[in-house]
Every structure is written in structure tokens, then in C-alpha cells.
Amino acid sequence: MNKRETTSTGGSTTKGAVVARRALRDGVYDAILEKLLDGSAPPGSSLGIDSLAREMAVSPTPVREALVQLEHTGLVSRVALKGYRVAPPMTPEQLEELFDMRTILEVAAVERAAGHSDDLLPELRVAHAQHVLAAHRVREVRGAGETPPDFADLRDYFAADWEFHLTIIRAAGNRFLTQSAESLSAHVHRLRQTVQHGTMDMDQAIAEHTAILAAFETGDPEALRASMRSHLEAVARRASAEG
């Protein structure tokens, strides 16, 4: 009886430790990611494990684990004998490939989501309204765009923008399509790290999302494909112009 109780307690403690460790690593990951995107760790700069651990008041282990995870996204790179560095800006070729992939994936998603428009539309309207509201808040904070906002101001805007796309992708009803889109999120983050055009294209992005929403409301498959393709091509042009 005592042996069984000891084993049970030990197992619970072990599971709790694993969960706590993962939560700590995820928190460190998020903190480093924000440094990459807010400009405090610019492309090419060094990411010292010990210095990051001191800054975040954690041990080096979760920092190392977070950097390994970030390396897989392409946001950081490991240089032999030099440690980790923030990845250089995306090249024009990488930008072209990223938008090519997004177009393949997201045009396929709108085609499949069209068959679920009755369920999708209420969620998509909410996602669009949140995107519009987030843009309005950015303008309020920075005086209607007179001063470029920093990353903290843009965080909610970026999240709302991407959530509009994810809402459509999830409605396609294909778990592997959704997983592929979610795996692209880090590269979308890297795009924002590469080109600081977030405030410049708010009005255009909202107008393009409005066209996509209208296409779902009319139920025209060709309009859906065209509106999503047009939006992604426009974003790619703006990114290339700013890069």
C-alpha cells in the first residue's frame, strides 16, 4: 500500500515537473521571439545563452531549448564556435517562396471553406471586426499613423490579421492543412521582422480582408479564389517594396 502510494506520488511529481518545464521553456521562447520582432535583437546580433538567462532570471537550460526551437523556424541560426545569432533578413527569393506557399495553401483553403460558409461566416465576421478594431487602436495610440508604432502596439494587430486567415484555414476542415498553416506562422513573424510595413498597409489589408469576407457572403467560388489570391499578391508586393 505504501509502495503504491509512493509510486503514485512520484509519478504525479514527475509529470508536474515536465509540465512546469515546458511552460517555462514556452515562456522563454515567447520572450525571445518578442525581442526578435520588436527590434531589440536586430538581424545578425548575438544571442548569448548566459546573458539571456540572466536577463530573464532563469537557468540556461530553457533558454537553450527555446533557441533550438527558434532555430527550426529559421528565426535564429547557430554559428559554429560563435553560438546563436538572429537570422539575417529574408532574401527576395525567400519572400517569393513564402508567398508562393501561402498562395497555394490559402487558395486551397478558401475553396474548401466555401462549402462551410454558413458555419464560417459568423466567426469570420468576428475575426474581421477584431482586425479592424486592432488597427483602430494602433492609430489611436500613435496619432493616426503620424508616428510609426513599436512592436508592442502592433502585437494585437498582427495577431488579429493572422487570425482572420487561420479562421478560414480551419474552416476548410483538413487538419493537415491547418497544421501546415500554423507551421508557417513563424515565417510570417520573420516576414514582419524583415520588413517593417505593418502600419503602412493597414488600410489596404483591411480593405482586402473585406473583399474576401464579401466573397464568402456571396458564395461565388471564383470571387473567393480571386480575392484571396489578390490579397496575398498585394501583400507580397508591399513586402518586396519595403524590404
Q: Which amino acid is at 89?
A: P
Instruction: Kindly state whether residues 64 and 112 are assigned to the same domain.
Output: no
Instruction: Kindly state whether residues 77 and 108 are assigned to the same domain.
Output: no
Structure confidence at residue 19 (pLDDT): 66
Instruction: Kindly state whether residues 148 and 230 are assigned to the same domain.
Output: yes
Burial of 101 from C-beta contacts in 10 A (0-12 / 13-18 / 19+)? middle
Structure confidence at residue 5 (pLDDT): 44
Instruction: Kindly state whether residues 63 and 98 are assigned to the same domain.
Output: no
Q: Which of 33, 61, 86 is the last residue of a domain?
A: 86
Structure confidence at residue 12 (pLDDT): 58
- In angstroms, rounded to a whole number, what is the distance separating the alpha carbons of residues 21 and 31? 15
Q: Which of 54, 86, 118 is the last residue of a domain?
A: 86
Instruction: Kindly state whether residues 100 and 81 are assigned to the same domain.
Output: no
Q: Which of 64, 86, 108 is the last residue of a domain?
A: 86
Structure confidence at residue 146 (pLDDT): 54
Residues of the chain with pLDDT under 70: 1-19, 142-153, 189-190, 192-200, 242-243
- In angstroms, rounded to a whole number, what is the distance separating the alpha carbons of residues 17 and 193? 34
Treating both helix axes as pointing N-terminal to C-terminal, what angle do 221-242 and 202-218 enclose, rounded to 10 degrees? 170
Instruction: Kindly state whether residues 234 and 119 are assigned to the same domain.
Output: yes
- Looking at the structure of the chain, the number of domains it has is 2
- Nearest 5°: phi and psi at 219? 75, 20
Instruction: Kindly state whether residues 156 and 74 are assigned to the same domain.
Output: no
Instruction: Kindly state whether residues 29 and 81 are assigned to the same domain.
Output: yes
Task: Residue 107: give the domain boundaries.
Answer: 92-242
pTM of the model: 0.77
Contacts of 170 (CB under 8 A, 6+ apart): 178
Alpha helices in the chain (DSSP H): 2-38, 49-56, 60-73, 92-113, 117-141, 151-171, 175-194, 202-218, 221-242
**Domain CATH for 11:** 1.10.10.10
Instruction: Kindly state whether residues 42 and 149 are assigned to the same domain.
Output: no
- Would you state the cell numbers that stand for residue 56, as one nine-digit string? 530573464
Instruction: Kindly state whether residues 20 and 40 are assigned to the same domain.
Output: yes
Instruction: Kindly state whether residues 77 and 114 are assigned to the same domain.
Output: no
- In angstroms, rounded to a whole number, what is the distance separating the alpha carbons of residues 239 and 197? 7
